[in-house]
Chains A and B, each alone.
Chain A
């Protein structure tokens, strides 16, 4: 009677080996078709007819989803324009600040347009194209306990969002400040309102917009550290898409596309305190 048991064992082993075989076939096929980086070359994208762009889905006004379920924002408008100029459709892959590099390296997207600040560390991991935006880090604090100098933050808690320029700057350059890190804007601003820390650091343009709605707070430090640039990023070594993107950014700069983009996507959010020249790089010829 044990024969039946052997049959069951055999059946199970067969199922397992078929599964393993299928997996290895799946393994092999893409390797042959797209050896490493050809996957995201301009030719491959055109052939596929779809440009896969990694953007934020929860960061108004740069990349977010409006009430009609449509992706909008400064980065998203650039993505749509790039796809249009390449003559392909656009497909968005939503990312958060932490997985922007992995999304490129794992071929989940061709290009990242997600408020991605150029830093020396990131340059080791991905290739940045020409920048399309500049930012500086500002620090917001309650008016009653205003922070105006970085030295006031020594030994105090400062709120930042993970993966942002602000986190990067304070981690590497201001070691005396203890950081309280969050995943999203809503969380970080709620934490500040709840008095979890002395101040909050983020892109200054964003902070200007926020203090307008929260008059008890003020941007005590308007800018710390050097100007930093936000640029499209592609997978390391993807020179085909990198070159194309550089040309595209130069062309859009000449056309004044980014001023238009600013007026459409950022201005309603930031109000009149922030001028296009605070954010976009030199436009025109």
Chain B
């Protein structure tokens, strides 16, 4: 099997480069999730307030990021921001910015939904015990909301990981981009290499996303 396509994966530094690409995808996704979840919790909290103006503003924010496709967001931060506003940061930071805003918008809705689903009597009991609003939020609402928002959060996290495949559109060397380089560099010598490279990438995404599902299951059972 001198010309089996699987050899493509192990020639030279190909395998290490794919791993490097995966690392780029993973750290961008992880950092965006951390920033996005913190910001999203805050925004979700604000959305349960009575102030109409704040609620409308945040609703517009949510709808903007929910409606605009992620690839358009990436183009916006990578090409339009530098041209119009001279914000010229490395592509990876622009990607983190776009992803964080997107995650925070989606997560704010998850948090809002979860907070509103906590039964009213829980809140009233807290108040009857003499808790102030912060204590109520910290000790009564948040722990119960956390459990309610868990499945949707994990779903969002896996979506973010998968969406990193769009990063190649703004010249980031993510795992798909590296895969494509390898495929194109070898398509004359290993025409079947394309299946192996994409097969490996499929597997890599799986081993990143699967532990998230497991984690979600464990957390749900613990509560």
Chain A interface size range: 35 or more
Query: Is B185 touching A66 in the complex (CB atoms < 8 A)?
Result: yes
Contact with B along A11-37 (1 / 0, CB 8 A): 010010000000100110011001000
Whether the pair A106, B83 counts as a contact (CB closer than 8 A) is yes
Interface size range of chain B in the complex: 35 or more
4 tightest Cβ-Cβ pairs between the two chains A and B: A67-B12, A58-B184, A106-B82, A65-B181
A108 and B171 contacting across the interface, CB-CB below 8 Å: yes
Question: Is there contact, CB below 8 Å, between A67 and B177?
Answer: no
The docked-state distance in angstroms from the alpha carbon of A23 to that of B51 is 27
Q: By the criterion CB–CB under 8 Å, are A108 and B82 in contact?
A: yes
User: Is B181 touching A58 in the complex (CB atoms < 8 A)?
Assistant: yes
Measured CB to CB, the closest approach of chain A to B83, in angstroms, equals 5
Q: Which residues of A contact B (CB under 8 A)?
A: 1-2, 4-5, 8-9, 12, 15, 23, 26-27, 30-31, 34, 57-60, 64-69, 93-95, 99, 102-103, 105-108, 184-186, 189-190, 213, 269
Contact B87 A26 (CB under 8 A): yes
Mark B residues whose CB is within 8 Å of A.
11-14, 16-17, 42-43, 45-46, 49, 51, 54, 78-80, 82-83, 85-89, 91, 132-134, 169, 171, 173, 177, 180-188, 194
Find chain B residues with CB under 8 A from A57 CB: 177, 180-181
CB of B87 within 8 A of CB of A65, answer no
Chain B residues, CB < 8 A from A65 = 17, 181-182, 185
14 contacts between A and B (CB under 8 A): A8-B45, A8-B46, A9-B46, A12-B46, A58-B180, A65-B185, A67-B14, A69-B13, A106-B80, A107-B88, A108-B78, A185-B184, A186-B184, A269-B188
On chain A, the residues within 8 Å of B182 by CB distance are 65
Please tell me if the beta carbons of B87 and A9 are within 8 angstroms of each other in the complex.
Answer: no
Q: Is the CB of A186 within 8 A of B187?
A: yes
User: Which residues of A are found within 8 Å of B173, using beta-carbon distances?
Assistant: 94
- Which of B83, B181, B194 gathers the greatest number of chain A CB atoms within 10 Å? B181
When the two chains form their complex, are residues B13 and A68 in contact, meaning their CB atoms are under 8 A apart? yes
Chain B positions within 8 Å of A1 at CB level? 132-133
* Cα distance A185–B184 in the bound complex, in angstroms: 7
Whether A64 touches B184, Cβ cut-off 8 Å, given contacts A1-B133, A57-B177, is yes
